[in-house]
Structure 1
């Protein structure tokens, strides 16, 4: 008897982890009807052992991820969803015992599918300015643009409010307007889990949410 593919979810910040689980369950139920819930293993770690070193204190992150890698080995997970974009940069320095459902790889594939070669990053202040995504996209001949500095500050402040569950209806309306502004000239890439939490638009040629890409790929592995 062939062993079924096992999908795992790494539990990090509470709100982002709950968001992934709820979205996975909702989409899986939509496909399979009845009382279906997405079958997965959740490895919930103490996010406080990771978060102080994000986004780029690589040596500290690698040290604190060692017990996580051991746990992953014992769980025999085939594919892992990590609900934090910046952590993927560090994971690339580790020989992982499981395949990562990688948001950057999936995003590049989707951009090629849509035949889009210009994007605007909507994420944390770090992500919008670091070389990590710029290098990955430009290697694929995809031009990367940033929001204005004023908009970057607004986006990053909103990200922090969402993390603390403090966003307002006015914040959500402002976020949707901001997305519409940048969608007019390029494909918007939502590359921050907290912003995925408040994003209401499905993936399409003008707006791609990296968290949704991970979730969609995880669902496809179990259907």
Structure 2
């Protein structure tokens, strides 16, 4: 059996399905015919992890570490984790080599485009905590937050997307909010549920999940041609 270069830690059902679908589409666009993305999926019990999120803790560290250790034993060199918030915990663990890190990839993309100020969309926790803000500010990128009312709405969009109960009206208002904020500075999506419902025609939009998946296709395609 050919060794697989990419692994995914399966978490929420909808977000994991989203990653798998997008990866297959990206891989097929690159390699054609009936190509599907070769990967290993380790499906975690997300109920356990989700109950411990968002803040790092000894309990969350232990559970996450066990999954990363298992993935390491499977031999894949690159790891995708379809939950942006969980990377705060992963940063402090052993066995995090090979993580396709959404925040670091975002910094690279912002630097490529000479963007030094962004608006952050994510969960309430991600927007208000220091984790992403500290990463970006340490590289000279200023983070602007939506208004308190808009942050509450963005978090509501996240919850509806997670539950699969979003309405057309909710999606429309979400897209209008992105359009409003992206008129001044690039909007960075730091939540996979927000990525699922994102508009497809906004130029100043940086999607952390999309950057992860694009990088995954790059690294395994390089592996494929060696």
Smaller-chain TM-score bracket? over 0.9
What do residues 92-149 of structure 1 show as CA deviations (whole Å, max 9, x unaligned)? 1111164100000000000000000001101100001100011101101111010000
Distance 1:136 1:75, change over 3 A: same
Does 1:95 pair with 2:94? yes
For 1:186, the equivalent position in structure 2 comes to 185
Distance 1:155 1:168, change over 3 A: same
- Separation in 2 of the partners of 1:200 and 1:90? 29
Does 1:13 pair with 2:12? yes
- Separation in 1 of the partners of 2:65 and 2:29? 37
- Separation in 2 of the partners of 1:127 and 1:210? 13
Output aligned runs, 1:80-119, within 5 Å: 80-96=79-95, 98-119=97-118
Moved more, 107-116 or 23-32: 23-32
Give the TM-score, by structure 1 length.
0.94
Would the aligned equivalents of 1:6 and 1:40 in 2 still touch at CA under 8 Å? Answer: yes
- Separation in 2 of the partners of 1:159 and 1:71? 29
Give the TM-score, by structure 2 length.
0.93
Distance 1:107 1:97, change over 3 A: closer
Does 1:222 pair with 2:210? no
For 2:144, the equivalent position in structure 1 comes to 145
What do residues 58-82 of structure 1 show as CA deviations (whole Å, max 9, x unaligned)? 2110122243133112201101000
- Separation in 1 of the partners of 2:31 and 2:201? 20
Would the aligned equivalents of 2:78 and 2:99 in 1 still touch at CA under 8 Å? Answer: yes
> RMSD between aligned alpha carbons?
1.5
Output aligned runs, 1:2-151, within 5 Å: 6-96=5-95, 98-151=97-150
Distance 1:203 1:214, change over 3 A: farther
Matched residue pairs, number?
Answer: 220
Return 5+ residue gaps in structure 1 as ranges. none
- Separation in 1 of the partners of 2:18 and 2:145? 26
- Separation in 1 of the partners of 2:88 and 2:56? 11
Would the aligned equivalents of 1:122 and 1:191 in 2 still touch at CA under 8 Å? Answer: yes
Counterpart selection for 2:207 from 206, 209, 221:
209
